[in-house]
Structure 1
Amino acid sequence: MPVLKLTRRNLSSLPVADKPVIFYDEDLKGFGLRVMPSGRKTWIVEYRPNGGGRGVSKRRHAVAAYEETTPEGARKLAATMLASVRLGADPAEERAEARDALTLREVADLFFADHVDVKRKASTAADYRRLLKLHILPELGSKKAAMVSEADLARIHSRMRATKYRANRALAVVSSLYAFAERRKLVPAGTNPAAHIEKYREDGRETFLSSEDLARLGEAIREAETVGIPWEPDPTKKAKHVPKENRRTVIDPHAAGALRLLLLTGARLREILGLRWQWVDVERGLLLLPDSKTGKKAVVLSAPALAVLSGLPRIGAYVIAGANAGTKDEKPRADLKRPWAAVSKRAGLEGVRLHDLRHTNASVGAGAGLGLPIIGKLLGHANTATTERYAHLDNDPLRKAANRIGNDIAAAMGEAPAEGGRVIKLKA
């Protein structure tokens, strides 16, 4: 067990080792330099954990590679570690625990298997997976979950600021993941890197179509399902086999029916695309959905909505026929992106989302003075606060009150009041 003062001069003349050997420092007990036959050198500390004593086995812990620091720097690091040992720390055990700790990707796998897939809807689980796969795991997945910092996550959140809603949802998913991990003792308490990151303010995105918008939309749908919507190739792009004639986009009757049903029922996209014929109660005029975003619910059908349903061909189990309709491998239609892109462009509604058709349904009801509670029930809102977004459109009671006040004031001023106005004497 060679002992010498570990200085640059002494270490420069060390003999070549034919087997692993440790040179211990004569000034700091437990500090040394391990030299391998390959020539690799590592600064180390040796100590007895848990208060020491000859009955406790020694542990050896690497401080740093020889090239990473000077003898003086390594001695300071070793002295700090040895001081922490005297206070009850165990650097070797801590490193072993860190080495065995789960990565964020491994914790995410447990999060889905034991929590999300069991307690959340399939659509919610799919959205969680999409957010983590696209934005979080590529950069942080291989990092130990307990070592992911607020700065790591804030950097990703900042990069996503162009899509504020998705950025905030990603943050919420990570926060939920760490809450699960802390409950399972997979990471220490207080590890959640999303806890103190401020979310972006999300501006309301509701768009309500006017009567003129609806007229153009109806005309565009009828054109698309009959003669087709004309289109021209993009002059900035080179495309092979572009037809010179019959450049028209024709949508199938199920796509057209889906667009009409979204408007006439105010239902969500997945509720219409996943709608089965067995859930349609024509006699009572209801869609009896066994599951939705807010759970089991019934959608009340108007006469126009019933007319749309009666006009759709019954090909398979789904009202809106999708892939392999009528076969044992039948699946619901995935989306309406292409039909909606063609129809909305033709109607001059580019930028309007399919979900805005649901908002439009609610806005028409609010503008007709039907009352927010009724609208909330028609849309299947579980929380009344969700319906409050349409409060500014619920103007029928306000208009009646404004007319009453305005007529009374006009009459008192000697102006001609509107029909129903009363002549009153104003107090001075």
Structure 2
Amino acid sequence: MATIRKIARESGTVYQAYIRKQGHKPLTKTFKTRNAAERWARKTEAAIDEDTAGLTNEGQKHTLGSAIERYRRELLPNRNPSTQPNYNRHLDYWARELGHLKLATLSAAEIARCRDALAATPIPPKKPGGESKQRTPATVRRYLATLEAVLTACVREWHWLSVSPVKAVKKPEGADNKRTRFLSRDELARLLEACKASESPDLYLAVILAVTTGARRSELMGLRWRDLNLEQQVLSVRTETANSVKGGTRSLPIPPQAVALLKARQSALRQHSNVIEIKARDDEAAALVFPSRVTAKQPVDLRRPFTTALARAGIEGLRWHDLRHSAASFLAESGASLLEIGAVLGHKQAQTSRRYAHLTEKTAHARVLAVANDLLSQS
């Protein structure tokens, strides 16, 4: 129970609220009126009972800008290297717009205002004279997801907040991320031939892995040799951090053709090693499977070689992510269920796999007809 003390001073009478509860350090604050002191005492005691008083104080100490800086320093390096530039771009935006605000005063309304401004502001052209582009709902959702990652760390990792205000912000709706394009078997054959002829020594292997395992580009580009077990012919992909929406680790089988290419690549890496054997093994395990030729710490950029290969193969309207869709399509053709497809692709929600329902239905219908014909032929 709070105690209100009346204190006479030369400047006038003041009222000091004093709160003492077991397990908490004493709190005191002085007010000009008894009513103000009592209101503060009631509010503070309620916060202590809910165990949020300390978090409120932490939220007053730190700004969103300081939280972003800590996130960049401690958590961002754990993200896949290929996704870090996008995260940094998103973080730059939030730091610029809301970085000055204390976490305790960061509201859903402020975040929603920035969400709307982001959606309404065109992306400047990359080249002089080029056309500006409007950000899609999917892009705005990714900006919000990055902010949510920072605020989730404030709640779960650093205990600077009790709840993330971004959870109360509505995500933009739109079907732009539902586009699904599949490779036909003929297109796949032409694409693989074009990749073989590519000047890039990485493209053919990367495309094979993408279209057979269904792994995301960021997952493949983030692969390190320690993630591969070539004897058991499996690879493990880490999808961001374990507490993210697409987080966790899953194992995928590697086709024999890719295993042979990976072994050849590993052998070449060992031959070019200039360090002692023990350190060579450590360096190899941590090395990227698809490193950039500029710096081995960053993955190779295959966008231009992939675009060139598509042109040579005469394939239009295909993005790299469609290789993942194509992997799901080939799985569905072979009779895999939506549950199996979701497990391979790493979907956290069954609804995500529903876009492939029409493909599994064709296989299921064929099986039903085959069983029906077998049964009726015996009657």
TM-score range, shorter chain: 0.5 to 0.7
- 1:52 Cα deviation after fit: 5.9
Q: Distance in 1 between matches of 2:265 and 2:180?
A: 30
- CA distance in 1 between counterparts of 2:209 and 2:63 reads 46
Specify which structure has the higher proportion of helix: 2
Q: Is the 8 A contact 2:190 2:313 kept in 1?
A: yes
> Is 2:251 the partner of 1:298?
yes
Number of the residue aligned with 2:100: 142
Tell me if structure 1 keeps the 8 A contact 2:235–2:254: no
- For residues 202 and 384 of structure 1, the distance between their equivalents in structure 2, rounded to whole angstroms, comes to 19
AA aligned to 2:368 is A
| 8 Å contact from structure 1 (residues 275, 319) kept in 2 | yes
Are residues 1:253 and 2:201 paired? yes
Displacement of 1:105 after TM fit? 0.4
On the 8 A contact 1:320/1:332 being kept in 2, the answer is no
Tell me, what secondary structure is at the counterpart of 2:366?
helix
Residues in 2 aligned to 1:151 and 1:380: alpha-carbon distance in whole angstroms: 33
| CA gap 1:273/1:122 in 2 versus in 1, 3 angstroms | closer
Per-residue deviation, 1:357: 0.8
Distance 1:350 1:312, change over 3 A: farther
Instruction: After TM superposition, list the pairs within 5 Å mapping 1:267-346 onto structure 2.
Output: 267-277=215-225, 280-284=228-232, 286-289=233-236, 291-293=238-240, 295-309=248-262, 312=265, 314-316=267-269, 317=284, 320-323=289-292, 330-346=296-312
| Matched length | 302
Is the Cα–Cα contact under 8 Å of residues 322 and 330 in structure 1 kept in the other structure?
A: yes
Q: How far is 1:321 from its partner?
A: 4.8
Structure 1 vs Structure 2 CA RMSD: 4.4
Q: Is the 8 A contact 1:266 1:357 kept in 2?
A: yes
Q: Deviations over 1:211-253 (max 9, x none)?
A: 2432432343244x2xxxxxxxxxxxxxxxxxxxxxxxxx222
AA matched with 1:358: R
**2:140 aligned with 1:167:** yes
Q: CA deviation at 1:178?
A: 4.1
* Higher RCO, Cα 8 Å, sep 6+: 2
1:320, 1:185 → 2: CA distance?
Answer: 37
Residue 105 of structure 1: aligned partner: 65
Counterpart secondary structure, 1:299: strand
Q: Is the 8 A contact 1:135 1:156 kept in 2?
A: no
1:253 aligned counterpart, secondary structure: coil
Q: Which amino acid aligns with 1:322?
A: P
Deviation at 1:138, TM superposition (A): 1.0
Given the superposition, is the C-alpha separation of residues 159 and 215 from structure 1 closer, same or farther in structure 2, using an over 3 Å criterion?
A: farther
Corresponding residue number in structure 2 for 1:368? 334
- 1:361: how far off? 1.1
Partner of 1:401: 368
Larger radius of gyration between Structure 1 and Structure 2: 1
Closer, same or farther in 2 for the Cα pair 1:324/1:173, shift >3 Å? closer
Sort the Cα spacing of 1:208 and 1:58 in 2 relative to 1 into closer, same or farther, 3 A. Answer: farther
How far has the Cα of 1:149 moved from its partner? 3.6
**1:292-344 superposed Cα distances (whole Å, 9 cap, x missing partner):** 5554543212233335445658442457452459xxx7435233122122223
Tell me how far apart the structure 2 counterparts of residues 205 and 149 of structure 1 sit (CA, whole Å).
33
1:4-15 → structure 2 map (5 Å cutoff)? none
CA contact (8 A) 1:257 1:312 kept: no
CA distance in 2, matches of 1:292, 1:195: 22
Give the conservation status (yes or no) of the 8 Å contact 2:223–2:237.
Answer: no
In the superposition, the TM-score normalised over structure 2's length comes to 0.62
The Cα shift of 1:366 comes to 0.6
> C-alpha distance in 1, partners of 2:154/2:112?
20
Report the residue type matching 1:214 in the other structure.
Answer: L
Closer, same or farther in 2 for the Cα pair 1:185/1:125, shift >3 Å? farther
Q: Distance in 2 between matches of 1:334 and 1:397?
A: 40
Whole-angstrom CA distance in 1 between matches of 2:169 and 2:288: 44
Summarize deviations over 1:372-402 as a string: whole Å, max 9, x none.
Answer: 4444454455665554443321121222325
Compared CA separation, residues 85 and 258, structure 1 to 2 (3 A)? same
Using the size of structure 1 for normalisation, the TM-score is 0.56
Structure 1 residue matching 2:202: 3-state secondary structure: helix
**Residues 395-404 or 305-314, more deviating:** 305-314
Contact 2:64 2:98 in 1 (8 A): yes
Q: Find the residue that maps to 2:62 and give its secondary structure.
A: coil
Tell me which residue corresponds to 1:87. Answer: 36
Question: Does the aligned pair in 1 maintain the 2:219–2:239 contact within 8 Å?
Answer: yes
Name the counterpart of 1:200. Answer: 172
Identical-residue share of aligned pairs (%)? 27
